[in-house]
Amino acid sequence: MGGMHLHRMLLAVVILGLLGCGHSRVVRQARPSRAVGHAAQPPVQVSQPKYGAVAEVQRGQTVYRIATENGITALDLALWNDIPPPYTIYPGQRLRLYPTDRNPPSAHVDVAKAPAPIGQRATPSTPAPAQPPALPVTSNLAWRWPADGAVVATFAAGDPTRQGIDIAGNGGQPVRAAADGVVVYSGSGLVGYGELVIVKHNDQWLSAYGHNRARLVNEGALVKAGQQIAEMGRSGAARDMLHFEIRYSGKPVDPLGYLPKK
């Protein structure tokens, strides 16, 4: 379910509200008497980076408007350009429409398929052995599991629908900060994530907690690893669960590569 509910990194209060002002409030939803009536929200838009492209902010534009006009989620556009809450932008400002921690696909040259220099006789080559997947970026943070429960959906690199993991549980059970940090977003303005909390741990690392029943922290709050920040729920999901993402410089990474082994 991953990205269809927060590369997931890393990064609107009712969309325009989130991107136009920095105020939010903690909400406690009443415990539903039954599952019927909790309609799932539309899936999260999948960002399509435009490598090398920039957008110049015009008067009256918001982060959300520029993002949607370019096929990018508002969260990704804010993270890619280091725009902090309340996501204020100014006319004439230039925003990257792509992350800066990777090169565009077109910049990659497959040496094995490149033509041989003129006059040089081509020789048959044996297929190169498959390379193991790249190791995740090393983190010096002491990550902790954000909730108890079974992992029912895992991260898949390059799959925009699986930008994190889903942890099944029961409505109301604690959702905890995975590491020390400051709350940079607490709201329900990002369609598909329900009641969402985002914690910034340092200049590179963020973690996101979606589908909560209630958010227990406001933006700007300092939180410690293991501190309860929300109650598990099914806002924007078909079952009680936590959607959890870790982002490095705005790019989703596999949380299971950082969380302690169970």
Is there a domain that residue 211 lies in?
A: yes
pLDDT given at position 46: 64
Binned at pLDDT 50, 70 and 90, residue 210 comes out as very high
Q: Which of 185, 163, 260 is nearest to 230 (CA)?
A: 185
Is there a domain that residue 121 lies in?
A: no
Residues 1-20: what's their mean pLDDT?
37
pLDDT in tens, 65-90: 898 889 888 888 888 888 876 678 88
pLDDT given at position 121: 41
Does residue 158 register a pLDDT over 50?
yes
* C-alpha separations of 41 from 26, 84, 182, 198, 234 in Å: 20, 26, 27, 19, 10
Residues 216-234: what's their mean pLDDT?
95
Please give the residue range of the domain that contains residue 223: 1-103+140-262
Does residue 36 register a pLDDT over 70?
no
Q: What is the pTM of this model?
A: 0.57
Specify the CATH number for the domain of residue 34.
Answer: 2.70.70.10
Is there a domain that residue 120 lies in?
A: no
Residue 191, number of CB atoms within 10 A of its CB: 17
pLDDT in tens, 103-151: 444 333 333 333 333 334 444 444 544 444 455 688 889 999 999 999 9
Please identify which residue in the block is written with the tokens 């920039």. 54
Q: Is 174 helix (H, G, I), strand (E, B) or coil?
A: strand
User: CA 38 to CA 32: how far, in whole Å?
Assistant: 9
Residues 12-37: what's their mean pLDDT?
38
Q: Based on the structure, what is the number of domains in the chain? A: 1
Is there a domain that residue 125 lies in?
A: no
Is there a domain that residue 111 lies in?
A: no
